[in-house]
Amino acid sequence: MTQQQPIAVLGGGSFGTAFANLLAENGQRVRQWMRDEEQAEAIRTRRENPNYLKGVRIHDGVEPTTDLAATLAECEMIFVAVPSSALRKVLDGRSEELAGKMLVSLTKGIEAQSFKLMSQVLEEIAPKSRIAVISGPNLAREIAEHELTATVVASEDDDLCAQVQDALHGRTFRVYASGDRFGVELGGALKNVYAIIAGMAAALGMGENTKGMLITRALAEMTRFAVQLGANPMTFLGLAGVGDLIVTCSSPKSRNYQVGFALGEGLTLEDAVARMGETAEGVNTLKVLKAKADELQVYMPLVAGLNAILFGGRTLEQVIGALMSGEPKTDVDFIPTTGF
Ligand SMILES: NC(=O)C1=CN([C@@H]2O[C@H](COP(=O)(O)OP(=O)(O)OC[C@H]3O[C@@H](n4cnc5c(N)ncnc54)[C@H](O)[C@@H]3O)[C@@H](O)[C@H]2O)C=CC1
Ligand SMILES: O=C(CO)COP(=O)(O)O
């Protein structure tokens, strides 16, 4: 890849916009693909995304476009930042256009019917491409506002990881590499569910002890689930596991946390999602995760509790009562001592 060749970012939302700017600030020429021509034109003329990350200036090196075929033809490295519900629709049928390209998923979700992570969907759509994922404690606005940030790029393809690190490393953004694509990606998808619970707890004025308990038991639960699927539990101790869990469960800037907060204030799920107005992957992830946990018989009381509140007609008080009076358990029981 030469400095001259543009890099593509697919998605006109907050994360696509933050990543497009990050790349451009590093001297890359960027094609940011979005479906809405009005939005693209507004970015072209005003150098600001009219719908996301208001107040953030879009770098001159970012060229907004609605021509997906031209974008894919022109770029070798392609970052995908559309919501999980849209990813397959956006790229399906483009296998030949994507052959040999470097595809990097930024999307943190799970496909509903297949339980596939987004890089697995990409693999299916574009089997001849090189695939990586990025995940970590990465609130879009903080990246855009140059808060010091770290992330993880994960792929079995070491050269691809190195090229992504090279493209993204900058004064305020640091990229660690990992060979555990599945674990890194799973961590990013699962933590969204617990951020909803953390937002609810915050709205109810729960204490700091509660927050510590919640985050730690969430880590236990997601790691237990991941181990059952064959992931390396050590990955959950890294940026894409506990790092992302902490930021998303602590920050009112997280959209999943915002949905939880609104639920805690008494809004219905529909109203909470509508009030927030952006993507909150945790809602859909919760549904597929609950079904998968039941199928695999993995003990996930937090997931079951949130599911009972949102879709089972239980009250928060009933669920908290059940969680606190559950049978006594061992603290760290989710990391096998051998095999990894
Ligand atoms: N915003 C953040 O801080 C972070 C977001 N992510 C992940 O990035 C992904 C994208 O999220 P955001 O950009 O934050 O969402 P967003 O809600 O800010 O924007 C979503 C964008 O996708 C577009 N879109 C929706 N359906 C589409 C379709 N069928 N075709 C083309 N475009 C479509 C929307 O028009 C919008 O521009 C999510 O999976 C999220 O979990 C990951 C890390 C941080
Ligand atoms: O993934 C994120 C931070 O790492 C963003 O979280 P939200 O999608 O909840 O805003």
pLDDT tens, residue by residue, 20-35: 999 999 999 999 999 9
- Closest residue by Cα to atom 6, ligand 2, is 254
The rounded Cα 245 to chain-centroid distance in angstroms is 11
| Ligand whose nearest atom lies closest to the CA of 18 | 1
State whether the beta carbon of 105 lies less than 6 angstroms from ligand 1.
Answer: no
Query: pLDDT exceeding 90 applies to what percent of the chain?
Result: 93
State whether the beta carbon of 241 lies less than 6 angstroms from ligand 1.
Answer: no
Q: Which atom of ligand 2 is nearest to the CA of 138?
A: 4
- Where residue 338 falls among pLDDT bands split at 50, 70, 90? low
Task: Tell how strand 62-65 and strand 77-80 pair up.
Answer: unpaired
332 or 84: which leads in pLDDT: 84
| Ligand whose nearest atom lies closest to the CA of 89 | 1
Cα of 282 vs centre of ligand 2, distance in Å, is 9
- Closest residue by Cα to atom 31, ligand 1, is 35
Task: Tell how strand 62-65 and strand 7-10 pair up.
Answer: unpaired
pTM: 0.96
256 vs 191: CA distance, rounded Å: 9
List pLDDT tens digits, range 287-297: 999 999 999 99
List pLDDT tens digits, range 48-79: 999 999 999 999 999 999 999 999 999 999 99
Query: pLDDT exceeding 70 applies to what percent of the chain?
Result: 97
Q: Is there a binding annotation on residue 15?
A: yes
Cα of 259 vs centre of ligand 1, distance in Å, is 16
What's the residue count for the chain? 340
Catalytic residue among 191, 211, 287, 290: 191
Q: Is 191 a catalytic residue?
A: yes
Q: Is 333 exposed, middle or buried (0-12, 13-18, 19+ CB in 10 A)?
A: exposed
Angle ∠(211,276,207) on CA atoms, nearest 5:
15
What's the ipTM? 0.99
Cα of 174 vs centre of ligand 1, distance in Å, is 22
Q: Which residue from 299, 300, 319 is spatially nearest to 309, judged by alpha carbons?
A: 319
List pLDDT tens digits, range 123-133: 999 999 999 99
Q: Which residue from 106, 144, 105, 135 is spatially nearest to 24, judged by alpha carbons?
A: 144
295 vs 316: CA distance, rounded Å: 25
Q: Which atom of ligand 1 is nearest to the CA of 281?
A: 41
Task: Tell how strand 77-80 and strand 30-33 pair up.
Answer: unpaired
Strand spans (E) along the chain? 7-10, 30-33, 62-65, 77-80, 102-105, 130-135, 149-154, 173-178
| Ligand whose nearest atom lies closest to the CA of 195 | 2
Residue ranges of alpha helices (H) inside 171-268 are 181-203, 208-228, 244-250, 255-264
Mean pLDDT (the chain, rounded): 95
* Confidence at residue 334, expressed as pLDDT on a 0 to 100 scale: 73
195 vs 192: CA distance, rounded Å: 5
